[in-house]
Amino acid sequence: GAVVSQHPSRVICKSGTSVKIECRSLDFQATTMFWYRQFPKKSLMLMATSNEGSKATYEQGVEKDKFLINHASLTLSTLTVTSAHPEDSSFYICSASDRSYEQYFGPGTRLTVT
């Protein structure tokens, strides 16, 4: 139980385009989902917290217009990187939390912007 999936696992896009990453909780309802960003050999940096049906709460320094987060249902959250640039290339990881507040992480999405 407590499986979280992400799609796609890898994506390569051209500079200036937008990319959508999906995070799904497969066997439980996620009251809260979190989006992280991880650079090579670095730790996970929290980008934003999203609760179903409400606006995401972004961490300091994260541009909400750049990283659009939608949490439309209790099993799906999406992160859209708008007008991507090479510096947006990173490993993006989501996690989902049920009512026990334990977080279950997805397998991550490797974004490369050329």
Q: Which residues bind other proteins (CB under 8 A)?
A: 4, 6, 32, 34, 41-46, 49, 91, 93, 95, 97, 101-108, 110
Quote the least distance from Cβ 41 to other proteins, whole Å.
Answer: 8
**SS3 for the chain, per residue?**
CCCEEEECCEEEECCCCCEEEEEEECCCCCCEEEEEEECCCCCEEEEEEEECCCCCEECCCCCCCCEEEEEEECCEEEEEECCCCHHHCEEEEEEEECCCCCEEECCCEEEEEC
Residue 38 or 80: the one with the smaller Cβ distance to other proteins is: 38
Quote the least distance from Cβ 51 to other proteins, whole Å.
Answer: 8
Residue 5 or 82: the one with the smaller Cβ distance to other proteins is: 5
Quote the least distance from Cβ 80 to other proteins, whole Å.
Answer: 20
Which residues face 48 on adjacent strands? Answer: 35, 58
Quote the least distance from Cβ 16 to other proteins, whole Å.
Answer: 27
Q: Report d(CA 78, CA 50) in Å as an integer.
A: 10
